[in-house]
Structure formats: C-alpha cells, structure tokens
Chain A
C-alpha cells in the first residue's frame, strides 16, 4: 500500500491553484470540474513519486470551525520539505507570504510556518545533515 493522495481544504480553489503553483512552485495535476467545484490536485516537480495534494473545496460546514481552531493555535495542516529554509523564507516573504513562525532551530531541523492564504497553515522543514 502507498500513500497516493493527501488533501487540504481551501477557501477558493482557483486562488489556491494560483498560490500553490505560482508562489510555491508546484505543478497542476488533475483539474476535473464537479458542478461548481473541481477535483483539483497539485504535485511537486522535485519529487514526481510523492503523493499528490488535493485542494478540496471548504464548503462543508464542519470545515470552518475545524480549521479556525487549528489556525488560532498555529497548528499546520501539512508539511513540505525544503533544501534551504533560509532562502525559501526570504523568497516567500518577498512574495508577500505571511509567516506565523519564522525559521526556528529545533535541533534536528529548521522549521517555519506560513499562512497559505486559503485558510491553512503550512509547515516548512529543512532536515539538518547528519
């Protein structure tokens, strides 16, 4: 068994696609219309074998209270790995991305948390070389 797909709820799927591709640098996978919504995925060009990320509409009534509570406590809903967190932090803040947590040394890794503008916090992690 393999993990093929994981998902995030997003406020607006088109805005989310723009952020996840133009700003973060992922590429579009599937984009299948489902009524007013889409079955929309992105993937990382750096790791074609990684699971796809489904950008799911946030219209279900359970989503808002769930995400609001996690956002309040600063809890990220996904983690992306980067080679160089310091330069990613500079690149993303230069593009207006807001971090709730700047790069922080946690011993084995550097981590930071940003707002994806779609209702989620995302953690970036750079593992230190052993």
Chain B
C-alpha cells in the first residue's frame, strides 16, 4: 500500500461519499452505489464514472471487492486509515 494513493483517493468528495455509504452499509454492488449516490446525494454521475472512482478506492486499498454468487460486492477497508493514525498517533496528544 502506498500512502500517497490513499491521500489521492480521499481527495475527492464523491469518493468520500462512497466511503461514507459503504461504512454505514457494507457490501454493495455497483448498481446499489450508483442508485444511492443519485437518489440520496443528488450526484449526477454515469455508472462508468462511479466505477472509475471505485477503481481508485480499490487500488488505494480503501475498498475491497468480494464475489458472492455471480455479483461483485464492495466493502470498506479502513486498514489504510489505521496506518495514517499509526504514523501520526492521536491518542498521545490528547492524553
């Protein structure tokens, strides 16, 4: 995992919204993510554009995909964010 890819992936409001939705309801198909972005967030994007955003999140390790049956489901993976917190720990400052 390259940390710069994580920051680049997070540097986009649509991708952050996708992570919000996956972290509140994990395991969604491309179709479900598209529907929610359009209907709940009024984001007018093509399916191809959303698919590309998911690709960026996946190559940064923030999203993992899993096949269940014949469909592909997307999951939020917070591990790269934990790396950031490990590098610049928050706890010590607060205490």
Q: Which residues of A contact B (CB under 8 A)?
A: 68, 71-76, 98, 100-101, 104, 106-109, 111, 113, 115, 121
Contact = CB atoms under 8 A, between A and B. Distances in A.
Given A74-B30, A101-B29, 18 more contacts: A72-B71, A72-B72, A73-B29, A73-B30, A73-B47, A74-B28, A74-B72, A75-B29, A75-B31, A76-B31, A98-B69, A100-B71, A101-B28, A104-B32, A106-B35, A106-B39, A115-B70, A121-B71
B36 interface: yes
Nearest to A107: B39
Interface string B23-44: 0010011111001100110000
B72 A73 contact: yes
Interface residues of B, number: 17
Contacts of A107: 39-40
Given A106-B36, A107-B39, A107-B40, A74 B29 contact: yes
Contacts of A100: 29, 32, 69, 71, 73
Q: Is the interface of A mostly helix, strand, loop or mixed?
A: mixed
B36 A104 contact: yes
23 contacts: A71-B70, A72-B71, A73-B29, A74-B29, A74-B30, A74-B32, A74-B73, A75-B29, A75-B30, A75-B31, A98-B69, A100-B32, A100-B71, A101-B31, A104-B25, A104-B35, A106-B35, A106-B36, A107-B40, A113-B29, A113-B31, A113-B32, A121-B31
A111 B39 CA distance: 11
Contacts of B40: 106-107
Interface of B: 25, 28-32, 35-36, 39-40, 47, 51, 69-73
Nearest to B38: A106
A43 B31 CA distance: 26
Closest 5 CB pairs of A and B: A74-B29, A106-B39, A74-B31, A73-B30, A71-B70
Nearest to A71: B70
Contacts of B73: 74, 100
